[in-house]
Amino acid sequence: MPRGGPDASCLDRLLETDRLEYLDRDSGDPGVASRKRSVIRALELTGDWFGNHEKFAHIALDEVAEVPDPRILELGAGHGGLSAKLLEMHPTAHVTVTDVEPQSVAAIKAGPLGSDERATVAVVDATDIDSADGSFDLAVFALSFHHLPPAAAARVIAEGTRVAHKLVIVDLPRPPAPLHLIRLATMLPLAPFIPFVHDGVISSLRSYSPSALRALAAEAGPDVTVELRGGLLTPQVAVVARPRG
């Protein structure tokens, strides 16, 4: 399925790439490892400056407003900024802060979350979560869903809604193709020089449209429901759930 969804236009289908972001490359090469760290650091800083960690924490906490002591699983945490906000904003929440990248998890463990008694930090692949069904009230996957090709992305939805009552996906919006071209044109000149922009261009080309998100939720299971919000100029939010037996 194209990133623009089953009904994507011809132009939209051209605005895709299989090229990997630095974040998706093997950290064995020291040059790649250092670019990866630079991208994660830039995400952490811009999340602080533009209030994204706090905005995403509000979105997540709204979904567990009725739960007194929510257990929240953060997938693809990168730097842990969102989990730190969740703990700051909810006095009795517990977070499990995870990422597939061992270096990122080691860095989070070495920081304040590593010694917070309401936080557990672990390496977890969002496509294959090693937790029992219903272990969490909520799972959240921020700015990460586009990293996964469609089959793996559908697995994240299946796994997230298996281990948690709801999964909140917050990700880059995929604009209509003409606007997308303009967004790419503004970023491309800096992409060869700034790792964060390089990964931003690829993220944009790999972002999913609302119709793609609906198709991926349907692929994850016939009983999976999806509610979509935001998009275009704000991050796109998908709340996916499946009825409890």
Of 40, 32, 19, nearest to 99 by C-alpha is 40
Cα–Cα distance, 50 to 232 (Å, whole number) = 17
Residue 197 makes contact with ligand SAM by CB under 6 A: no
CA distances from 106 to 45, 123, 174 (A): 19, 9, 32
- Given candidates 48, 54, 116, 125, which one binds ligand SAM under the rule CB under 6 A? 125
Q: Quote the tokens at residue 27.
A: 């950290």
Residue with Cβ nearer ligand SAM (78 or 175): 78
Q: Are the beta carbons of 213 and 228 closer than 8 angstroms?
A: yes
Contact between 126 and ligand SAM by CB under 6 A: the answer reads yes
Place of tokens 């969740």: 86
**Cβ at position 185, least distance to ligand SAM in Å:** 22
Q: In angstroms, what CA-CA distances link 236 with 110, 149, 208, 210, 233?
A: 31, 18, 9, 8, 9
Out of 87, 107, 142, 169, name the contact with ligand SAM by CB under 6 A.
142
Is 167 an interacting residue with respect to ligand SAM (CB under 6 A)?
no
**Residues that contact ligand SAM, how many (by CB under 6 A):** 19
Q: How far is the CB of 107 from ligand SAM (least distance, A)?
A: 10
- Out of 143, 157, 212, 217, the only residue in the binding site for ligand SAM (CB under 6 A) is 143
Query: Which H or E element spans position 103?
Result: helix 102-110
Q: Report which secondary-structure segment, H or E, holds 202.
A: helix 195-206
Part in contact with ligand SAM (CB under 6 A); list of ranges 7-15, 59-67, 138-146, 159-167: 138-146
> Smaller CB distance to ligand SAM: residue 14 or 138?
138
116 within 8 A of 87, measured Cβ to Cβ = yes
If the CB atoms of residues 11 and 190 are measured against ligand SAM, the closer one turns out to be: 190
Residue 227 token pair:
């509610």
Residue range at the interface with ligand SAM (CB under 6 A); choices 26-34, 89-97, 123-131, 160-168: 123-131
Positions 56 through 95 that interact with ligand SAM (CB under 6 A)? 75-78, 82
Query: Which CB atom, from 14 or from 123, has the smaller least distance to ligand SAM?
Result: 123
- Exactly one of 2, 5, 47, 235 binds ligand SAM (CB under 6 A); which one? 47
Q: How far is CA 43 from CA 48, 74, 80, 144, 215, in A?
A: 9, 16, 10, 11, 28
For ligand SAM, the binding residues (CB under 6 A) are 23, 43, 47, 75-78, 82, 99-101, 104, 125-127, 142-144, 147
